[in-house]
Structure 1
Amino acid sequence: METKKSLFDNLQNFFGFDNFKGEQEAIITNILAGNDTFVIMPTGGGKSMCYQLPALMSEGTAIVISPLIALMKNQVDQLRAFGGSDSIAHFLNSSLTKADILRVKDDVLSGKTKLLYVAPESLTKQENVDFLRLNQVSFVAVDEAHCISEWGHDFRPEYRKIRQVISNIGDDIPIIALTATATPKVQQDIQKNLQMNNATVYKSSFNRSNLFYEVRAKRNAIKEIVKFVKQNQGKSGIIYCLSRKKVEEVAEALNLNGVKALPYHAGLDPKVRADTQDKFLMEDVDVIVATIAFGMGIDKPDVRYVIHHDMPKSMEGYYQETGRAGRDGGEGVCVAFYSGKDIDKLQKFMKDKPVAEREIGTQILKEVIDYAESSVCRRKQLLHYFGENFNEAGCNNMCDNCCGPKVHFDGEEHLHRALSLIKQIGEKFDDCHIINILMGKDDAQVKNYEHDKLEYFGSGKEQGENLWNSLMRQALLNNFLSKDIDQYGLLHLTKAGNSFIENPYSIRFLLNQEMGPTDDDDTEDGPKQGGGALDTELLQMLKDLRKKLAKQKGLPPFVIFQDPSLEEMCTHYPINTEELKQISGVGAGKALKFGAPFIDLIKKYVEDNDIDRPVDMVIKSAANKSALKVFIIQNIDRHLNLDDIAASKGLTYEEILKEVETIVNSGTKLNLNYYIDEMIDEDKQEEVFDYFKSAEVDSIDDALAELGSDDYTREEVQLMRIKFLSEVGN
């Protein structure tokens, strides 16, 4: 009883809390009793308290092994603030000077330091091992313990040496391992490697009931992100991207649109990264755009949304990153953009890795694909991945799949067919192989095993691949099947699966949503229609105005603005030059030259019809979204051959012409005479130029039909059209 009282006294005196969260009390009591302890607790559950409090109450110094310098600094600062003395907690890592290291060692030797944070790389240095042997070590806490396992999302080889080092420091030192993400497989790996099979295991539920999960097909992602952030102005958020380049691009787009955002990635100077972190914590900045390195150990409780511009490489990564939202129990929205192209990129990265690593990576990535494409409750899938069964009714519509429209199918016969096939071929294959047999695919592995001779071969073709993908996923989620992740994801029948083959019963499954074609932001140069229905009445008025102006200036209408630009004006309603410049195909040149009457007309139309303008939809993009445009303009100014410009950027001739066309369409003047004069003789040039002067539309096909495709090539007409638009329109 005395211990219990002193436990609460210490909690109150040191941290100012009256009560423990979840299983904290049981965990701390177990550590104080000198037992090995394994804590699996989701982000925000209060893991650090589990080793901080017993360290303060024990004789000697507790060693905390952590891979993250940012996290160490953060926790040491907090402990010093609570304890009122700097010597109570220290860290030992590569960022310290020699003088710093001496001060740390003096404090530890004198018994003032209760917690010493060490990076695994520093721990393995012989001089540090020798030093730690001189001290009384109360216990060793291994934080982020999933780094031990190759099946974890953040494997670090130096973590596998920790057990050996602990044995060198002293005998019978208790170990506490902690992680926020551990699948059953990773859990087993950690215990085996740290030789703590007799440890007491405390596993909390992974359900974060306040988080809303959503996956969107990736179309115009940057535009959608800016729109989302503008709708949540003033709230803190983190946006994750897979590449540094995309981090910079998204941060720039947000700043252009009046959002205080900063990039964060490993390519930045450590001081800049530390400043960025502080600005986010101090709320000088609302949004951080980061590669996955950000947010580890950043204890900001009121992050209101986490957006994934790209799907992460693993479900653990996804869980941990989304877990940075709503740690105070308040609102937390998690939106991820999914595109097949992104998955292809991730698979390409894996091609150069050793075979074993590639196999593991492929298995882990497949879980991400299944999660994104499935129509089942997101929470149920996420928790199942961590070995937790969850009834989707408990989701309370806190994910897009539970809120959205559902398409069910009767699964009794299909499930029976799939399970019987798995049993017949001996439970030695993965889901792709099973689906290939059912779909009757011409697949090498199917033929090698002569599974194309089975009665099941092609028997599911009529139902389509999406149905079988949906069914296999849900057979796993509902525990008819289990997946042997160690053995390349081979499927085994469970007791429930075998029982279903014997006694099938009526069961309904959800059909996966078709994500449809998705694209990357890199292809967003062409005019895209914004959200909202097209205002046909305004479109007609704008076309009439364009015709009138064209007549006055003696120009074809398309030289002033092309149709896609007018259509975009009808969804965005730009009412000043700044807004007009953001319309695709307008640009600064055209906005100044032709914009005024269009702006006046739209402004009056908006007022007369009392239109609520979707201001957030007019999203500014960087004036020259790609450095490529600047490069092309500069090299045309230097009179370089178009073929050479294309070759130096790895483009085809057609691609370079398309880029040049986009530049000219937006109102930039380009003088290509030096090149055209070499390619097309003068008479031909004149004839095409005259044709475009009187043309109603700027179609190259119409021009070729009129001028005769025997006399002119498409390329010649295209070049002349560029020259015409540049000279006459810009």
Structure 2
Amino acid sequence: MTLTATPPATDFQSLKTRALDVLHQVFGFDDFRPLQGEVVDALISGNDALVLMPTGGGKSLCYQVPAIVRPGVGLVISPLIALMQDQVTALNQLGVRAAFLNSTLWPEEARDIENALVRGELDLLYCAPERLLQPRMQQLLHQAPLSLFAIDEAHCVSQWGHDFREDYLGLDILEREFSQVPRIALTATADERTRKEIAERLHLQSAGHFVSSFDRPNIQYRIAQKDNANKQLLAFIKEEHQSDCGIVYCLSRNKVEATAKMLSGKGYMALPYHAGLPADIRAAHQERFLREDGVIIVATIAFGMGIDKPDVRFVAHLDLPKSIEAYYQETGRAGRDGAPSNAWMVYGLQDVIKLRQMLEASPGNDHFKRVERQKLDAMLGLCEVTSCRRQSLLRYFGDELEQPCGNCDTCIEPPQTWDGTVAVQKALSCVFRTGQRYGVTYLIDVLRGADNERIRSQGHDKVSTFGIGQDLSTQQWKSVFRQLVAGGYLQADAEGYGALSLTETCRPLLKGEDTVWLRRDPETKRKPKGSASVKRTLVIEDQPAWDSLRARRKALADEQGVPPYVIFHDTTLLEMLERRPKTLEEMGEINGVGAAKLDRYGQAFLEVIATIDVENASAFE
């Protein structure tokens, strides 16, 4: 398929018509999603754009379509090799002339691509910011016909963001050296502070700002108290995602290894991924995750950016993320295809203490630490919220959801609250009476009047708070202390011993000037209604037919050495299953089946569908 058969258009209306034609013929879609069309119009007009869209919202099309339509080569600045290769592979399948320049290429391969760039024989070229800043690359760009610059993962330019990369700071050179070439910066995660910084550092203040809703309605958000994390994770996967692909995030490398080993021992295909593993093992595990069904990656935050796998059905967190931005980006890797998916997390008091200690012990200056405290406080607020969790999440990004979503744990089973004023006063007093030098377990023993040698040796069996908390169980006291630390009323020491001390914030509580309502944690033995019983997966009514379509897709993918989703997404296969096309023309009407893929794969899938129909007909004879 040749995309350059149509001569370059010069007027806006012709370019707009051409953009719709490319959307349909190349990508297989009839219409742009909300905001996509507006961004495309801005770029084909030669204007700059700053785009915020959720993961899976279709950011890539915003620059891919204009790069194909406008004369010249579109240069995409991408932070990771895996992201470049994944996107280029997918574009080549569509018949788009795309390539990348990175360290994986042989010198001869790189020279061929550089020559193609200068001659304008590419539609899209991907490279990392480090390469773009090299004098040789800039010299090549000055010789090449350029249609646009696309800066992907633009939040990496923000020093207050969660994925800061210093090389991104040099991208302001694009505005100085190539002022006539339109630029688009794209990200899925940026609060108001980060958006402003992106615009300032990339000189995009006068660009059109396109902010889509951050809502991912297909994702069900659930956060539960941590009791036995491994047991909880196993129950979640077994009951809801037995054969599904997913990602499990842990804070430490040791926990990644232990969790992967635990899941493997229970029969799951679970692979570890963290920066401490050799590069070849990380690459092999990522490759299996991309190409095989039912693989679970257990990872630190080293894994994820640039992963374009659309059928990740769940993302689980066994430890608390440091910010809502990190949480949103990591959970956003679930359900990129728009099908039902889960964002599941367990967290507890030790998570809060550990992250606060890490923050205070970090080498950042006071301003940095203050910003990071605010981000962690917002994350803790999301965990402890008693209203719709999705509304709270979206509100953080300045996005309002008018009605509760009905698809998060706090909507499915609204949490109960209780007047915890007296219990809070007891807890805070106990911290004070024992000298602000002890951790939660010890404090609870004092409150519940435990008869042990340590308490007696410290003389704490004589303090006024000894034994005054027997009305609450140990688990209930843990909940009280967790919420006090999360709310900033108590702080943990920075040395890592977990000793709690009072903050100025708690003064009105001790004086009885404030009333405190606490979230009542559900009993751990009780199964939450509507959560684990709601299976967040694709609904397949004809499983044998579905398996046949997936088997053909897998065979074609293996022949070409590409992930199955590069052939067709699950949602495209599902539409084939529902509509049962009988001709190539009917197949071409399926979403995601563009002209190139129709030519390559249409007949192969028509044959599978015909066989399915024959088998189904035979079953009723």
Question: Fold conserved (TM > 0.5)?
Answer: yes
What is aligned with 2:577?
none
In the alignment, which of 375, 378, 391 is matched to residue 386 of structure 2?
375
Kindly provide the CA deviation profile for residues 609-630 of structure 1, in whole angstroms up to 9, marking residues without a partner as x: xxxxxxxxxxxxxxxxxxxxxx
- CA distance in structure 2 between the partners assigned to 1:171 and 1:313 by the alignment: 37
- CA distance in structure 2 between the partners assigned to 1:352 and 1:531 by the alignment: 38
What is aligned with 1:710?
none
| 1:21 match: secondary structure | coil
What is aligned with 1:100?
109
- CA distance in structure 1 between the partners assigned to 2:255 and 2:503 by the alignment: 38
Instruction: Compare CA radii of gyration and give the structure with the larger one.
Output: 1
Is the aligned partner of 1:389 residue 2:400?
yes
Kindly provide the CA deviation profile for residues 567-620 of structure 1, in whole angstroms up to 9, marking residues without a partner as x: xxxxxxxxxxxxxxxxxxxxxxxxxxxxxxxxxxxxxxxxxxxxxxxxxxxxxx
- CA distance in structure 2 between the partners assigned to 1:163 and 1:4 by the alignment: 29
Shift of 1:279: 1.9
Shift of 1:161: 1.4
What is aligned with 2:227?
219
Q: How does 1:289-328 map to 2 (within 5 A)?
A: 289-328=298-337
What is aligned with 2:171?
162
8 Å Cα contact 1:146-1:182 kept in structure 2? yes
Kindly indicate whether structure 1 or structure 2 has the higher relative contact order, using CA contacts under 8 Å at least 6 residues apart: 2
In the alignment, which of 505, 515, 532 is matched to residue 463 of structure 1?
515
Shift of 1:307: 0.4
| 1:380 match: secondary structure | helix
What is aligned with 2:246?
237
- CA distance in structure 1 between the partners assigned to 2:278 and 2:122 by the alignment: 31
Shift of 1:401: 5.1
| 2:155 match: secondary structure | helix
What is aligned with 1:404?
414
8 Å Cα contact 1:129-1:165 kept in structure 2? no
What is aligned with 2:372?
361
8 Å Cα contact 1:120-1:159 kept in structure 2? yes
What is aligned with 1:141?
150
| 1:107 match: secondary structure | helix
In the alignment, which of 29, 36, 43 is matched to residue 31 of structure 1?
43
- CA distance in structure 2 between the partners assigned to 1:241 and 1:444 by the alignment: 29
Q: How does 1:55-204 map to 2 (within 5 A)?
A: 55-83=67-95, 88-168=97-177, 170-204=178-212
- CA distance in structure 2 between the partners assigned to 1:46 and 1:402 by the alignment: 29
Kindly provide the CA deviation profile for residues 686-708 of structure 1, in whole angstroms up to 9, marking residues without a partner as x: xxxxxxxxxxxxxxxxxxxxxxx
Long gaps (5+) in structure 1: 410-430, 468-510, 517-529, 534-730
Is the aligned partner of 1:46 residue 2:58?
yes
Shift of 1:343: 2.5
- Residue correspondences, number: 441
Shift of 1:405: 3.7
8 Å Cα contact 1:279-1:285 kept in structure 2? no
- CA distance in structure 1 between the partners assigned to 2:174 and 2:217 by the alignment: 39
TM-score (norm 1): 0.56
- CA distance in structure 1 between the partners assigned to 2:115 and 2:369 by the alignment: 46
Distance 1:462 1:141, change over 3 A: closer
| 2:354 match: secondary structure | helix
In the alignment, which of 10, 13, 18 is matched to residue 30 of structure 2?
18
8 Å Cα contact 1:303-1:327 kept in structure 2? yes
Q: How does 1:488-499 map to 2 (within 5 A)?
A: none
- CA distance in structure 2 between the partners assigned to 1:435 and 1:93 by the alignment: 46
- CA distance in structure 1 between the partners assigned to 2:171 and 2:514 by the alignment: 55
What is aligned with 1:346?
355
- CA distance in structure 2 between the partners assigned to 1:186 and 1:513 by the alignment: 35
Kindly provide the CA deviation profile for residues 367-404 of structure 1, in whole angstroms up to 9, marking residues without a partner as x: 1111112222110110011011223x341243335523
- CA distance in structure 2 between the partners assigned to 1:444 and 1:207 by the alignment: 36
| 1:407 match: secondary structure | strand
The letter of the residue matching 1:342 is: D
- CA distance in structure 2 between the partners assigned to 1:359 and 1:94 by the alignment: 38
What is aligned with 1:512?
519
Kindly provide the CA deviation profile for residues 669-694 of structure 1, in whole angstroms up to 9, marking residues without a partner as x: xxxxxxxxxxxxxxxxxxxxxxxxxx
Distance 1:228 1:91, change over 3 A: same
- CA distance in structure 2 between the partners assigned to 1:457 and 1:352 by the alignment: 30
- CA distance in structure 1 between the partners assigned to 2:216 and 2:132 by the alignment: 34
- CA distance in structure 2 between the partners assigned to 1:30 and 1:173 by the alignment: 13
The letter of the residue matching 1:242 is: L
Shift of 1:172: 2.6
- CA distance in structure 2 between the partners assigned to 1:246 and 1:56 by the alignment: 45
- CA distance in structure 2 between the partners assigned to 1:373 and 1:457 by the alignment: 19
Structure with more of its chain in helix, by fraction:
1
Kindly provide the CA deviation profile for residues 281-333 of structure 1, in whole angstroms up to 9, marking residues without a partner as x: 32244211111232323222222211001111110111111111122222211
8 Å Cα contact 1:94-1:122 kept in structure 2? no
Distance 1:248 1:199, change over 3 A: same
Shift of 1:3: 3.3
- CA distance in structure 2 between the partners assigned to 1:436 and 1:461 by the alignment: 14
Distance 1:442 1:394, change over 3 A: closer
| 2:313 match: secondary structure | strand
| 1:35 match: secondary structure | coil
8 Å Cα contact 1:218-1:337 kept in structure 2? yes
- CA distance in structure 2 between the partners assigned to 1:225 and 1:157 by the alignment: 36
| 1:242 match: secondary structure | coil
What is aligned with 1:491?
none
| 1:329 match: secondary structure | coil
> Share of identical aligned residues, percent?
41
- CA distance in structure 2 between the partners assigned to 1:142 and 1:394 by the alignment: 34
8 Å Cα contact 1:377-1:402 kept in structure 2? no
- CA distance in structure 1 between the partners assigned to 2:225 and 2:130 by the alignment: 41
The letter of the residue matching 1:178 is: L
- CA distance in structure 2 between the partners assigned to 1:141 and 1:158 by the alignment: 15
| 1:100 match: secondary structure | helix
Shift of 1:458: 5.4
8 Å Cα contact 1:216-1:337 kept in structure 2? yes
Shift of 1:95: 3.1
| 1:303 match: secondary structure | coil
The letter of the residue matching 1:181 is: T
